[in-house]
């Protein structure tokens, strides 16, 4: 076999694998997530909200061993998002995408906040790009030229994060873990990931009696953790300070959700009078499991779509009575569902997710 033929054969094999391999990856994900030892059944299990969870959700008095005071000032209805634009960017308009925009739009429409901040920064893809990141004029255009950010610009304030960002973190999602807590500790307010969609006002959930100065939601029917994708807190919250202190010597390259999900639950158990816990269906239901993600994105029949459309209207924008937010679990759903979504697909195709977020589209989104 001649060299040219060998090269052509190798290219053909490579192209074949490129087309086939995503299917193998999805099959591998399915098997790993749906086997009996994966733990997903525990996450999906039914639950009953506790009396404390419902009291926190509806701003009712809590029974406690310590004296409570009804705070005159609620948690500020100020929403904070964090977006880190990698350097180099994938294009001149950056990577802030349509679904990120829709998440911010959902907060503007549903929460009617006093202010919305997008805190942004530029982590270097490698040490070789650090000098580029330090030159603001070379990287700011990825934010200022982004069409989705331009749409949001009249309604949000952009705040650049200028401290160094760890370019060696294996999971880039961890870049914002400490920063969200620092923002809330200093200013108070609401933090939301850019794949979390606000569906209804937080209302009385923003008025927990002191010393319960932070509000988090349980993740999973088994209440296995408390996710950091949505947090509300008063400034100088003792709970947020304790949580932030646990990051002092953390090695985030050797964990996924320990500090972001497991630690806050442990702190809630040890310091129950510093936090108001919301039931799993407030922020994080349906869950991140294979079956729950599929349930949110599977096509609906006409009768199913009519049912869920009516239910969403009846409940003021949500699928369930206690639901304030839908977290889209982009790590688990991006490749399977989210990356194909466009404004036209969300308008045209009836899925539970599309029905939830359709009202956040602008008329000229296309």
Distance CA 354, CA 341 (A): 9
Q: What percent of the chain has pLDDT over 70?
A: 81
Is a pLDDT exceeding 80 seen at residue 113? yes
Q: Where in the chain is the domain with CATH 3.90.550?
A: 51-280
Kindly tell me if the per-residue pLDDT of 5 is higher than 90: no
| Per-residue confidence (pLDDT) for residue 280, from 0 to 100 | 98
For residues 79-88, give the mean pLDDT.
Answer: 92
Q: Which helix (H) or strand (E) holds 160?
A: strand 157-160
pLDDT at residue 175, rounded to an integer: 85
Q: How many CB atoms lie within 10 A of CB 47?
A: 16
pLDDT of amino acid 91: 79
User: Helices 238-245 and 177-187: crossing angle, nearest 10°?
Assistant: 150
pTM comes to 0.88
Q: Does domain 51-280 have CATH number 3.30.70?
A: no
Name the residue with higher pLDDT: 274 or 1: 274
DSSP assignment of 234-292: -TT-HHHHHHHHTTTT--GGG-SSIIIIIHHHHHHHH-GGGEEEEPHHHHS-S-SSHHH
Residue 67, pLDDT > 70, answer no
Dist. CA 264–CA 326, nearest whole Å? 20
Most distant CA atoms of the chain, gap in Å: 85
Helix (H) / strand (E) containing 356:
helix 352-357
Query: What distance in Å separates the CA atoms of residue 355 and residue 342, rounded to the nearest whole number?
Result: 14
Most confident of 30-39, 80-89, 141-150, 194-203: 194-203
């Amino acid at each position: 076999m001649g060299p040219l033929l060998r090269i052509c054969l190798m290219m053909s094999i490579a192209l074949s694998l490129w087309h086939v391999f995503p299917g193998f990856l999805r099959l591998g994900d399915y098997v790993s997530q749906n086997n009996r030892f994966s733990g997903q059944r525990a996450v999906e299990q039914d639950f009953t909200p506790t009396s404390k969870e419902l009291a926190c959700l509806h701003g009712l008095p809590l029974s406690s061993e310590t004296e409570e005071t009804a705070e005159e000032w609620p948690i500020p209805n100020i929403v904070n998002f964090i977006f880190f634009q990698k350097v180099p960017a994938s294009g001149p308009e950056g990577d802030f995408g349509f679904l990120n925009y829709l998440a911010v739009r959902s907060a503007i429409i549903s929460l009617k906040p006093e202010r919305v901040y997008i805190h942004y920064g530029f982590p270097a893809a490698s040490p070789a790009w650090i000098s580029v990141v330090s030159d603001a004029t070379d990287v700011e255009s990825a934010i200022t030229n982004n069409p989705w950010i331009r749409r949001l610009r009249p309604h949000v304030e952009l705040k650049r994060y200028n401290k160094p960002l760890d370019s060696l973190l294996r999971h880039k999602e961890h870049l914002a873990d400490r920063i969200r807590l620092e923002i809330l500790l200093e200013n108070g307010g609401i933090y939301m990931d850019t794949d979390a969609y606000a569906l209804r006002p937080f209302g009385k959930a923003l008025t927990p009696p002191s010393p319960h100065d932070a509000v988090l939601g349980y993740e999973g029917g088994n209440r296995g953790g408390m996710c950091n994708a949505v947090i509300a807190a008063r400034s100088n919250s003792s709970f947020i300070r304790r949580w932030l202190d646990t990051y002092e010597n953390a090695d985030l390259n050797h964990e996924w959700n320990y500090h972001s999900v497991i630690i806050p639950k442990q702190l809630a158990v040890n310091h129950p009078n510093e936090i108001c816990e919301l039931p799993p269906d407030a922020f994080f239901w349906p869950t991140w499991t294979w079956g729950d993600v599929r349930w949110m994105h599977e096509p609906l029949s006409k009768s199913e779509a009519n049912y869920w459309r009516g239910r969403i209207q009846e409940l003021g924008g949500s699928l369930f009575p206690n639901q304030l937010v839908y977290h889209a679990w982009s790590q688990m759903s991006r490749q399977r569902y989210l990356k194909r979504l466009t404004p036209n697909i969300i308008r045209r195709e009836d899925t539970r997710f599309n029905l939830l977020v359709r009202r956040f589209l602008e008329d000229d989104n296309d």
